[in-house]
Amino acid sequence: MERKERAVIVLHEIYGINQHIKSVCEHYLAAGYDVLCPNFGDSEEYFDYSREEEAYQYFVDYIGFSSVTCEVKKILLQAQRDYKQVFLIGFSVGATAAWICSGLGSSVDGVICYYGSRIRDFLNIIPKCPVLLICAKEEKSFIVSDLTSALERREYVRIHVLNGKHGFCDPFCKAYNEQSARIAQDLVDKFLENTH
């Protein structure tokens, strides 16, 4: 199969590569991108949403942001040689990892972060490429306006806060908000089209 000119690297959330992440990958394949989706867990199995606490603890105990970002950096180095443009799209902890990698410079052309609540722990990161942050208006673990006000004047950073709870773009999740998911997808499509 012929390699495309542009690639999207999809970074999953604490649950692993579940049906939502697979559907995201399928969307970008259909849109004409090559899609890379590294699995940061030890198996092909993923956590069900009912096991949120267990999934989070597994991420903290066995994976962690330093391991994820180290792996993503390696993938980016290879992808940079293989493609004209490379984008990171992350969800939740994957979004925080994508945010951390936005400070790498020329190895990534654009970063999209869906509800990366732990970005608040990495405000020292200075993005060196365009970044689109998509935040949920309702987050149980932090105040969204604190994060947006800390980042809204950063160069390269665009922030959109949409109605809904953490996970609102995931049609397999209770928090799914169809209208906000559609708005978010439009924002992402425009971001990808306009980032050269």
Q: Tell me the pLDDT tens digit for each residue of 138-174.
A: 998 899 999 999 998 999 999 999 999 999 999 999 9
Residue 1 lies in a domain: no
Tell me the pLDDT tens digit for each residue of 96-118.
999 999 998 778 999 999 999 99
**C-alpha to C-alpha distances, 153 to 18, 105, 148, 149, 189, nearest whole angstrom:** 35, 19, 9, 8, 23
Who's near 23: CB < 8 A, 6+ residues apart? Answer: 171
The enclosing domain of 94 has a CATH number of 3.40.50.1820
Band of the pLDDT at 36, cuts 50, 70, 90?
very high
On whether residue 137 sits in a domain, the answer given is yes
Q: d(Cα 48, Cα 186) in Å, to the nearest integer?
A: 28
Residue 26 lies in a domain: yes
**Domain count within the chain:** 1
pTM of the model: 0.95
Task: Read off the tokens for 188.
Answer: 């992402």
Within a domain: 13: yes
Give residue 154's domain range. 6-194
Query: What is the predicted pLDDT for the residue at 3?
Result: 74
